[in-house]
Amino acid sequence: MSLSLITLNVGAPSLERARRQLQWLAARPEDIFVLTETKATPGSQLLAQACTAANYSVTFPVHDPGELGIMIISKVATTPDSLTGTLSYLPARAAGVVVGTTSGPLRVLGAYVPSRDATLEKTERKKHWIEGFHTALDATHSGIPVLLLGDLNVLEPGHQPEHRQQFAPFEYDFYRSLTDTHGLLDAFRHLHPERIEHSWARRPDLGYRYDHAHCSPQLLPLLQGCEYVHQTRNVLPDGSRLTDHSGLAVRLTTTASAPLLTSDPATPAISEPGLEPTLF
């Protein structure tokens, strides 16, 4: 028995793309989905509403108009984590839940770090959010082990290819500080010290490992797998893709103590609910 999770950047999906993503998620074996780049638009709302109607536990923080964030969808019972709502700046970009397992409680946190360009405004925006996220992690530290999943929009030092000209020291410092300050280890790199994989690519020879999973040291003995799921970037017959990011799946040798009785969220009766848009 195991507890499995996957993080995936859904790219602020249109309603039509969200329907395809919902079908894909419904067929996945993972217990918990941490979705990044969600938005207060019909596509993301469809994902939240359909999964809620199918009795999944859904955490979908209020997104300000035009802002991006995360959503956590779970086939197992969850309680709100104290990280949710703690950030004062762009708060929808981080949230968490607590899951009961046979090994004890587990904090599952999701984060979608802002991207930036060469402008001072976008750079300061990213710096400000990262500073707030550090503060939130410190303020909510509880001793319960943490699994942090999401699109961090930063690369590890030593990333191949380097992309050094595109990233500032503060961005590499953020990656390092997850371990040095908060004690969270890169789960993929722990299991695969030399493997080169990318979760987003402008073109095949220019890949970036943006999507990450970091965990507390006490989870390392339970860490059974951490693998990228690249099929989400495959081109579909109509020329579209599910998303432009690969998923990252994590498997722990523990079991959720309270699985939910869920139905298929992609069935027409559920995935096309006549509901008003709702944010949680």
Instruction: From residue 230, give the alpha-carbon distance in Å to each of 26, 47, 243.
Output: 17, 21, 10
Structural contact between residues 247 and 234, judged by C-beta atoms closer than 8 angstroms: no
Average confidence score pLDDT of the chain: 94
Give the dihedral sign, CA 198/173/135/220: positive
Question: Is the model's pLDDT at 203 over the cut of 80?
Answer: no
- Which band of pLDDT confidence, cut at 50, 70 and 90, is reported for residue 240? confident
Q: Which two tokens stand for residue 83?
A: 């990280």
Question: Is the model's pLDDT at 134 over the cut of 90?
Answer: yes
Q: Count Cα atoms within 13 angstroms, Cβ side, for 114.
A: 20
Instruction: From residue 184, give the alpha-carbon distance in Å to each of 197, 212, 217, 231.
Output: 20, 11, 7, 28
- Which band of pLDDT confidence, cut at 50, 70 and 90, is reported for residue 105? very high
Query: Which candidate, 136, 121, 158, places its Cα nearest to that of 88?
Result: 136
30-46 mean pLDDT: 97
Instruction: State how far the Cα of 212 lies from the Cα of 179, in Å rounded to an integer.
Output: 13
Angle in degrees, CA 107, 24, 148, rounded to 5: 20
Question: Is the model's pLDDT at 151 over the cut of 60?
Answer: yes
Cis peptide before 161 (omega within 30 of 0): yes
CATH code matching the domain that covers 3-270, chosen among 3.50.30.40, 1.20.140.10, 3.60.10.10, 3.20.20.80: 3.60.10.10
19-24 mean pLDDT: 95
275-280 mean pLDDT: 43
- Which band of pLDDT confidence, cut at 50, 70 and 90, is reported for residue 273? low
Question: Is the model's pLDDT at 278 over the cut of 70?
Answer: no
Question: Is the model's pLDDT at 196 over the cut of 70?
Answer: yes
Q: What is the pLDDT of residue 264?
A: 95
With residue 185 as reference, give the H or E element that holds it. Answer: strand 185-186
92-114 mean pLDDT: 98
Q: Is 193 left (phi over 0), alpha (psi -120 to 50) or beta?
A: alpha
Question: Is the model's pLDDT at 276 over the cut of 90?
Answer: no
Question: Is the model's pLDDT at 275 over the cut of 50?
Answer: no
Question: Is the model's pLDDT at 103 over the cut of 80?
Answer: yes
Q: What is the pLDDT of residue 158?
A: 92
Q: What is the pLDDT of residue 269?
A: 62
Q: What is the pLDDT of residue 51?
A: 97
Place of tokens 């890169």: 186
- Which band of pLDDT confidence, cut at 50, 70 and 90, is reported for residue 280? very low
Q: What is the pLDDT of residue 271?
A: 66
Spacing of C-alpha 273 from chain mean position: 25
Place of tokens 């360009």: 117
- Of how many residues is the chain composed? 280
Q: What is the pLDDT of residue 212?
A: 98
Instruction: State how far the Cα of 196 lies from the Cα of 191, in Å rounded to an integer.
Output: 12
249-273 mean pLDDT: 89
Q: Is the pTM of this model over 0.75?
A: yes
The fraction of the chain above a pLDDT of 70, given in percent, is 95
| Domain ranges (residues) in the chain | 3-270
